């Protein structure tokens, strides 16, 4: 492979560019902030989103979206979910039917409740039928960029695309597995952020390992229910894109979503917490979209419902936990 274009210069996009750079002749990284793009090319460091990591020489930062995407054999989307439709619409003139599309965005589009791969198909489809895969798994950007071993999933209905991306992205520190259930992968990638907020709340309240184990287990159960109702497969949620990512995000202190929950548990207001964060915590917006999707599909999501009440309705975290524990008793 000659060129990879990474659309999104946040911590995750930059980390993926770093770890994938040895596999491509050229990596173009789209960075929204023009001054940051210039500093990256000058210093070889993304000092805002991934400080302390030196970018390989074959990575170039571009503030112009069309320049960043032009000529890409693989276009890797790593923008926040609420920007996906706008970004793919703007980049459309640079895209070709030969391009392979990989989405590493974790979230649902508010309003439409579509998965990001659905948004991509809707935007690009009138021009040509895009070949799309989704990338997910238990990964923190800083650890990936440091070269620590990790395993992720590339999922697509297009098995040839999945195998091509697997071969192109795999290396000494990054192992890829293929999967044919992008619905399950995208639902798992999105909803685990909601459960991670709940995990942070528990930690912020000073609760221990018993509570965390129960939360992760029951959180996986409701993510699986939603994925199946949306057309996904239960076995996907027992793998890297489900259980693996959920365990990492709920327990890892590098998780932005867990951090939001932790600060909520300590009594801080949501607006204050988000106002102090440079990077996006996808789980907040995903909570709102997940509740709407659950209503549409008639699926019960008790943990997500309590997080919705805490985030949007001003319910106290301790009261939300009490209401979870006092729900009617039932069979597992």
3-state DSSP call for residue 52?
Answer: strand
Query: In this structure, what DSSP letter does residue 279 have?
Result: S
Residue 294 near residue 226, CB atoms below 8 Å? yes
Residue 94 near residue 84, CB atoms below 8 Å? no
Question: Is 192 annotated in the active site?
Answer: yes
Pairing between β-strand 26-30 and β-strand 150-155 as defined by DSSP bridges: unpaired
Nearest-5° angle of CA 69, CA 75, CA 78? 100
Of the candidates 106, 142, 192, 315, the residue annotated as catalytic is 192
Bridge partner list, 30: 7, 62
Give me the count of residues in the chain: 332
Residue 217 near residue 204, CB atoms below 8 Å? no
Tell me how far apart the alpha carbons of residues 183 and 304 are, in angstroms, rounded to a whole number. Answer: 19
Produce one character per residue of 265-300: b if its CB has 16 or more CB atoms within 10 Å, e if not: beeeeeeebeeeeeebbbbbbbbbbbbebbeeeebe
Nearest-5° angle of CA 18, CA 243, CA 317? 100
- Nearest by Cα to 227 from 190, 195, 257: 190
Centre a 10 Å sphere on the Cβ of residue 159 and count the other Cβ atoms it contains.
11
Residue 182 near residue 157, CB atoms below 8 Å? yes
- Nearest by Cα to 189 from 132, 158, 218, 227: 227
Catalytic positions are 192
């Amino acid at each position: 492979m000659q060129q990879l274009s990474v659309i999104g210069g946040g911590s995750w996009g930059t980390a993926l560019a770093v770890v994938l750079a040895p596999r491509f002749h050229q990596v173009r990284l789209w960075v929204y902030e023009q001054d940051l793009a210039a500093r990256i090319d000058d210093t070889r460091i993304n000092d805002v989103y991934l400080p302390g990591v030196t970018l390989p020489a074959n990575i170039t930062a571009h503030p112009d979206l069309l320049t960043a995407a032009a000529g890409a054999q693989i276009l890797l989307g790593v923008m926040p979910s609420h920007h996906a439709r706008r970004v793919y619409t703007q980049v459309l003139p640079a895209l070709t039917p030969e391009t392979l599309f990989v989405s590493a965005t974790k979230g649902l589009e508010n309003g439409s409740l579509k998965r990001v791969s659905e948004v991509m198909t809707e935007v690009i489809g009138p021009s040509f039928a895009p070949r799309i895969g989704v990338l997910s798994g238990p990964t923190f950007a800083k650890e990936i960029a440091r070269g620590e071993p990790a395993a992720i999933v590339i999922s697509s209905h297009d098995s040839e695309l999945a195998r091509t991306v697997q071969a192109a992205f795999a290396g000494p520190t990054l192992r890829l597995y293929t999967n044919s259930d992008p619905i399950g992968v995208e639902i798992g990638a999105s909803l685990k952020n909601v459960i991670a907020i709940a995990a942070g709340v528990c930690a912020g309240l000073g609760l221990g390992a018993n509570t965390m184990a129960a939360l992760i287990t029951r959180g996986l159960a409701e993510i699986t229910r939603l994925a199946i109702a949306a057309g996904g497969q239960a076995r996907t949620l027992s793998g890297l894109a489900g259980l693996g990512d959920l365990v990492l995000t709920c327990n890892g202190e590098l998780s932005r979503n867990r951090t939001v929950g932790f600060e909520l548990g300590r009594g801080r207001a949501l607006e204050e917490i988000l106002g102090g964060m440079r990077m996006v915590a996808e789980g907040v917006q995903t909570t709102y979209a997940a509740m709407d999707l659950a209503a549409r599909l008639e699926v019960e999501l008790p943990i997500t419902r309590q997080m919705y009440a805490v985030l949007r309705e001003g319910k106290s975290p301790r009261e939300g936990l009490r209401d979870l524990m006092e729900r009617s008793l039932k069979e597992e």
